[in-house]
Structure 1
Amino acid sequence: FTWIKLRVGDGTDCRFWTDNWSSFGSLQTYLLRNSTSRLGIPATATLSEINEDGNWLLPPARSEELLNLQVYLTELTLTAGKDRYEWVLEDKPLTKFVTGDVYTKLKGETQTLPWTKLVWIKGGVPKHSFLTWLFALDRCPTRDRLLRWGLQTDSNCLLCNMADESRDHLYFLCPFAWSLWTLVAQRCRLVSDRRWDHCLTQLQSLSGNKYVRRVTLLGWQSTVYWIWSERNNRLHRNSYRTVDALFRLLDRQIRDKFLSHRDHNPLLASKLMQIWLPSD
């Protein structure tokens, strides 16, 4: 209610008691919270009906609230224009309703985690972004988490069989995963750190060419996705792919993503592809 303001024009559509037309909100709440008397003003009265030749037909003020309203009305003049409703968020009238703005206002101020800009990237692959978000929160069912839940399972990493499987091991202490990420990082002109938290910090500090940053984050998310895909492939299908085979799949997917921009933005497609393609 507080965000739906009625901008007063001629007052013919403005309901005196219930519309949010004054700085006091609903006058029914403001004036009648300690009283049952409507001051001789009908419940259905409009603002224009209590104005006669520029004079406001209100009884003498017998409360602080009514006095405040009378002072407010001395600065209000009815015009020939129509009354109209407006969305007002953060004291700024909006020309259109935006669901995202209202949602942000409803949920209130929240702390933005520093890695969110690495996850929800422009032009990203939705399933890659979603999986990366889960891993950033450490919510994927890696074997260390399954064991903590009390499930009986082998703890070994399915990719290297050299250490216990965890989020931080998969990205990128695992030699198999590190080999794949190294190939991708080379394409992105990045000398990457091997530890998950250090890698996140490094990616957050990327600066310079925005196209290089976009390609790098897309490549990183694709690596996260294909490593997890290979892990699940080995667990559920007993199917194994080499690092080179996995990189070819990743490479083809990224190229297809860039080529999808050709029709509406050929310059963008060209710039991204030039960054991604090997220099030799």
Structure 2
Amino acid sequence: MVGRLVNWVAVNKESLWVKWVNANYPMGRDWQENAATSNSSCVWRRNYRVKQVLAAGYTQGIWQVQPSGYTPAGCYEWLRGTRPKVEWSNVVWDNWIMPKHRFMGWLFAHNSLHTNSTLLSFGMDVDGLCILYGLADETQQHLFFACAYSRRVLQSLTECTGLKLPEVDILHWCVHNPGLKTQRGVKNALVMSTLYQVWQQMNKCRHEQVLMRPMCVAQMISEDMKKRIKERDKSRMTTHELDWLGGLKFI
């Protein structure tokens, strides 16, 4: 955002603030070569520091990064550099998914959930075994797909919804799962809601020593999905999508 002020000075934008700058801080030479003096205000010195960071984006006082002109978003992308888009991006950030479930999915995609195995690797004094069943190390893969409790949740969810979720590589399945836009959205939301609710149960088991029955968890996930479907604008859906929604067991 400060870069926008730098750009205004660089192009001598017609504005009261730029006129004030020119009156109080005479450039005397090219703005790109100018330097703040020792008696300049802290705000003006900050502008110069930002100018130095962005200097490579200018040629003869013109911002070359964006032909249409400077924008903070474009400058941010330029400073950040080009990064490949991960294949799971459209799954995790699907607008069918509740915001708290999206964040959960983002952590899952980065393998950043603090399972017992992760805490153990941090040097914390914890038992590395799965807190839900205690038969194997509590990794993400085990907790959500191999643990007997999670598998029962998935089985109960299939009974409640009629939609079968995979027991491994769940993000890969979502990415390559064919179907109409609404079908993909519902399945993505179902997956993220399942991850969220299983994680919640693990935390309750750890901190409160309580654990719901798998069928009850599956019903909570189904209720989440009912709410999401009711909130959606049906006028934008095709007849095929509406027919598919009407055929779901939990609607």
Q: TM class, shorter-chain normalised?
A: 0.5 to 0.7
Whether the 8 Å CA contact 2:129–2:136 is kept in 1: the answer is yes
Cα displacement (A) at 1:136: 1.5
Letter in 2 for 1:267: S
What is the aligned counterpart of 2:192 among 218, 221, 235? Answer: 221
Q: 1:29 to 1:164 in 2, by over 3 A?
A: same
- Counterpart in 2 of 1:173? 146
What is the aligned counterpart of 1:258 among 224, 229, 239? Answer: 229
Residues of 1 paired with 2:98 and 2:114: CA distance?
A: 21
Cα displacement (A) at 1:272: 9.2
Residues of 2 paired with 1:182 and 1:276: CA distance?
A: 19
The Cα offsets for residues 135-187 of structure 1, whole Å up to 9 and x where unpaired, read as 21121210011111222222221222221211110121112112223444673
Is structure 2 residue 110 aligned with structure 1 residue 137? yes
SS in 1 for 2:190: helix
Q: TM-score, normalised by structure 2?
A: 0.67
- Counterpart in 2 of 1:240? 211
Letter in 2 for 1:121: D
Letter in 2 for 1:212: Q
Q: Pairwise CA RMSD of aligned residues?
A: 3.9
- Counterpart in 2 of 1:204? 175
Identify the structure with bigger relative contact order (alpha carbons < 8 Å, sequence gap 6+). 2
Whether the 8 Å CA contact 2:157–2:219 is kept in 1: the answer is no
What is the aligned counterpart of 1:109 among 69, 82, 89? Answer: 82
Q: 1:253 to 1:279 in 2, by over 3 A?
A: closer
Whether the 8 Å CA contact 2:156–2:214 is kept in 1: the answer is no
Q: Which structure has the greater CA radius of gyration?
A: 1
Whether the 8 Å CA contact 1:159–1:176 is kept in 2: the answer is yes
Residues of 2 paired with 1:175 and 1:154: CA distance?
A: 18
Whether the 8 Å CA contact 2:157–2:215 is kept in 1: the answer is no
Larger relative helix fraction: 2
Residues of 1 paired with 2:162 and 2:183: CA distance?
A: 7
Q: 1:275 to 1:156 in 2, by over 3 A?
A: farther
Whether the 8 Å CA contact 1:170–1:177 is kept in 2: the answer is yes
Unaligned runs of 5+ in 2: 23-28, 35-59
Identity of aligned residues (%): 20
Q: 1:190 to 1:268 in 2, by over 3 A?
A: farther
Residues of 1 paired with 2:115 and 2:223: CA distance?
A: 27
Within 5 A, what are the aligned runs for 1:1-280? Answer: 4=7, 28=30, 90-91=66-67, 93=68, 100-184=73-157, 187=161, 189-190=163-164, 192=166, 194-195=167-168, 198-261=169-232, 265-267=233-235, 271=242, 274=245, 277-278=248-249
Unaligned runs of 5+ in 1: 20-26, 34-68, 70-85
Residues of 2 paired with 1:208 and 1:248: CA distance?
A: 25
Larger relative strand fraction: 1
Residues of 2 paired with 1:272 and 1:225: CA distance?
A: 28
The Cα offsets for residues 201-235 of structure 1, whole Å up to 9 and x where unpaired, read as 22211223111100010000000000000011111
Whether the 8 Å CA contact 1:124–1:218 is kept in 2: the answer is yes
Letter in 2 for 1:177: S
Residues of 1 paired with 2:94 and 2:196: CA distance?
A: 15
Whether the 8 Å CA contact 1:219–1:254 is kept in 2: the answer is yes
